[in-house]
Amino acid sequence: MGKRYWLVALVAFAAALAAVLVARIWLAPAPPVENEVHALLHDRLTLDAGQKQRIADLEAAFARRKAALDAEMRADNQRLAAAIAAEHGYGPRVAQAVDRSHQAMGELQKETLKHIFAMRGVLRPDQAALFDAAVVKALTQPAG
């Protein structure tokens, strides 16, 4: 019986680890909005020196906040893995870990939107129109 218990625990742990890795793959890529906006700001808009500096400052501040939220999400994934390994199913600890991870993901989404609007505030009206179009495109294009 002891060997069987350890085998079940090992399989459950492997499943939990696989679930975390799959979640990390889905969460890891930069969202299309960030990719589209970054390309627009740095490759297609002609920014003056003041705009470049203000955007660089905004990006540095956002990078720090994003790093903190990414660390929080990694910790949430570890708690989820531990909960899955402990409960071997969708129990109260798993549900709590999922809810907690959704809070961090939601906070990252809010911070990203605040960052996007802050960068938009640096732009001239003609640049902002292109910026808005890039954001809309990124948000409405099919995933893939």
**Model confidence pLDDT, tens digit, residues 15-72:** 554 555 455 545 555 555 667 777 777 788 888 999 999 999 999 999 999 999 999 9
Residues 82, 88: Cα–Cα separation, whole Å? 10
For residue 34 the two structure tokens come to 């960030």
Do 57 and 119 form a contact (C-beta atoms < 8 A)?
no
Beta-carbon neighbour count of residue 58 at 10 Å? 17
Alpha carbon separation from 13 to 89, 121, 122, 139 (Å, rounded): 11, 47, 48, 36
Residues 17, 81: Cα–Cα separation, whole Å? 6
**Model confidence pLDDT, tens digit, residues 107-129:** 988 998 899 899 999 999 999 99
Radius of gyration of the chain from its Cα atoms, rounded to whole angstroms:
20
Residues 108, 65: Cα–Cα separation, whole Å? 9
For residue 38 the two structure tokens come to 């970054």
Which DSSP helix (H) or strand (E) runs through 118? Answer: helix 92-120
Residue 97 phi, psi dihedral angles, 5° rounding: -65, -40
Q: State if pTM tops 0.85.
A: no
